[in-house]
Amino acid sequence: MLTNTQQLLDLMARLRRPEDGCAWDIKQSFSSLIPYLIEEAYEVVDAIERNDLDDLRAELGDLLLQVVFHSQIAEEQGLFNFEQVSAGICEKLVRRHPHVFSDAVFNTDAERHQAWEQAKADERQEKNKTAVKTSVLSGVAGNLPALIECEKIQDRAAQHGFDWPDLPPVFAKVLEELDEVKEALESGDQAHIQEEVGDLLLIAVNLARHLNVNPEIALKESTKKFSKRFHYIEQQVEASGRQLLDCELMELDAFWHEAKISLKNKVV
């Protein structure tokens, strides 16, 4: 009897079979599948955040299908197969956990993290051994969400000594960048304004790092909070028989403050 994994691999191979497979599946490529891969990953995250465990199981299956799909395309091109993908991650897990699979001893989380990052650095060096020079920032995917990419880049730099040792200079830098945004605004140069806003966002990510806050999660939660409070405003305006655009900003702002009080017990 076939395992579920083998059945999934066989189904994908059948769908891709040129003579009698699915026309849509047959024409897909690594590049064409990128939007679906990203979408499925975000749907897994959504199921986790909603604590919908049945949906999580289903969404993990959809995400696994993307791994199998890419592996099937690679196998057809003689590049690699699903078994090699599985073997690769198994080898990586063993290599990055010497305190579990060999005799290494780490006494603190900081030591474990340092060893993990060193293992990743060694892997990058091995991968790029033919290159003339490899930056310590190499290997961070350029198409990550901007906040995540920024945090990872800053983490890499910090591991090599380029970081403030404590919080006061970070707070000072936040205020400095905010002043530079104001100066850019006075210049009227939109490109310069964008540049300075980017610098402000970058230092905000740095501040989050120093406070042990994940900036991506923090912003996502604040956006949810904003949406809930704005929904409260919509409800109050609708109850008055009006549209949002019929109201003055001062009135909407008053509703906003009501929302903060009304929804306080819901952690909004």
Domain boundary among 48, 80, 96: 96
Residue 247 lies in a domain: yes
Residues in the chain: 268
Q: Which of 38, 90, 26 is nearest to 63 (CA)?
A: 38
Pair (229, 202) in one structural domain:
no
Residue 20 lies in a domain: yes
pLDDT in the model for residue 176:
97
Q: Between these two residues, 175 and 114, which has the higher pLDDT value?
A: 175
Number of domains composing the chain: 3
Residue 151 lies in a domain: yes
Pair (207, 230) in one structural domain:
no
Confidence of residue 80 (pLDDT cuts 50, 70, 90): very high
- What six digits make up the tokens of 65? 């299908």
**What whole-number distance in Å separates Cα of residue 57 and Cα of residue 76?**
29
The CATH code of the domain that includes 14 is 1.10.287.1080
pLDDT in the model for residue 206:
96
Pair (50, 92) in one structural domain:
yes
Residue 111 lies in a domain: no
Pair (227, 251) in one structural domain:
yes
Pair (229, 203) in one structural domain:
no
Residue 82 lies in a domain: yes
Q: Which long-range contacts (CB under 8 A, 24 or more apart) does 232-237 make?
A: 232/258, 232/259, 232/262, 232/263, 233/259
3 state SS for 33-53: CHHHHHHHHHHHHHHHHCCCH
| pLDDT at residue 107 greater than cutoff 90 | no
Query: Range with the lowest mean pLDDT among 90-94, 116-120, 236-240?
Result: 116-120
Q: Kindly write down the DSSP assignment for every residue of the chain, as one continuous string.
A: ---HHHHHHHHHHHHT-TTTS-HHHHT--TTTTHHHHHHHHHHHHHHHHTT-HHHHHHHHHHHHHHHHHHHHHHHHTTS--HHHHHHHHHHHHHHH-HHHHSS----SHHHHHHHHHHHHHHHHHHHTTTSS---TTTT--TTS-HHHHHHHHHHHHHHTT-S-SSSHHHHHHHHHHHHHHHHHHHHT-HHHHHHHHHHHHHHHHHHHHHTT--HHHHHHHHHHHHHHHHHHHHHHHHHTT--GGGS-HHHHHHHHHHHHHHTGGGT-
- Provide the mean pLDDT of the chain: 90
Look up the domain containing 71 and give its range: 4-96
pLDDT in the model for residue 131:
52
Pair (50, 90) in one structural domain:
yes
Instruction: For the chain, report the end-to-end CA distance as a whole number of angstroms.
Output: 52
Q: Which of 13, 8, 99, 103 is nearest to 61 (CA)?
A: 8
Pair (170, 227) in one structural domain:
no
Residue 89 lies in a domain: yes
| pLDDT at residue 133 greater than cutoff 70 | no
Q: Between these two residues, 252 and 143, which has the higher pLDDT value?
A: 252
